[in-house]
């Protein structure tokens, strides 16, 4: 089952300045033709020392991006434009 949220890496959360206030992040799907761009909300969760941040609507994100459970997703974060950019998706090889 797909989770409802995706935890962002700490360095991405810091670059997005999510600690200054919850906001949405623009997602840019460069692996699609034509590329798709849309805002995606974030949420804050408590952890042992501070907070961690997650994307909301993870299932919608996965469906829009054509990502399936087990796929490897290569992404980067553009700090200047505040965009999370999906560069490539490598499908998981499933045994039949």
96 is a domain residue? no
SS3 assignment, position 7: strand
Q: How many domains does the chain have?
A: 1
pLDDT at residue 1 greater than cutoff 80: no
pLDDT on residue 21? 85
Task: State yes or no: cis peptide before 41, omega within 30 of 0.
Answer: no
1 is a domain residue? no
37 is a domain residue? yes
Taking the C-alpha atoms of residue 32 and residue 35, their distance in angstroms, rounded to an integer, is 5
Nearest to 26 by CA among 62, 69, 79, 92: 79
Higher pLDDT, 70 or 84: 84
pLDDT on residue 86? 94
Q: How far is CA 57 from CA 38, 64, 80, 94, in A?
A: 12, 11, 24, 25
39-72 pLDDT per residue, tens: 998 988 898 888 899 888 888 888 999 988 888 8
pLDDT at residue 32 greater than cutoff 90: yes
34: domain CATH number is 2.40.330.10
Q: Which residues, 6+ apart, have CB-to-CB distance to 75 below 8 Å?
A: 84, 85, 86, 87
17 is a domain residue? yes
pLDDT on residue 50? 86
Question: In the structure encoding, which two tokens stand for residue 10, read together?
Answer: 């700490």
């Amino acid at each position: 089952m797909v989770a409802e949220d995706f935890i962002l890496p700490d360095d991405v959360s810091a670059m997005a300045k999510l600690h200054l206030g919850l906001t949405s992040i623009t997602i840019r799907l460069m692996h699609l033709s034509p590329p798709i761009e849309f805002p995606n909300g974030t949420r804050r969760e408590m952890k042992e020392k501070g907070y961690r941040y997650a994307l909301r609507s993870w299932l919608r994100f996965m469906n829009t991006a054509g990502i399936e459970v087990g796929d490897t997703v290569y992404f980067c974060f553009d700090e200047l434009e505040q965009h999370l950019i999906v560069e490539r998706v490598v499908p998981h090889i499933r045994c039949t």
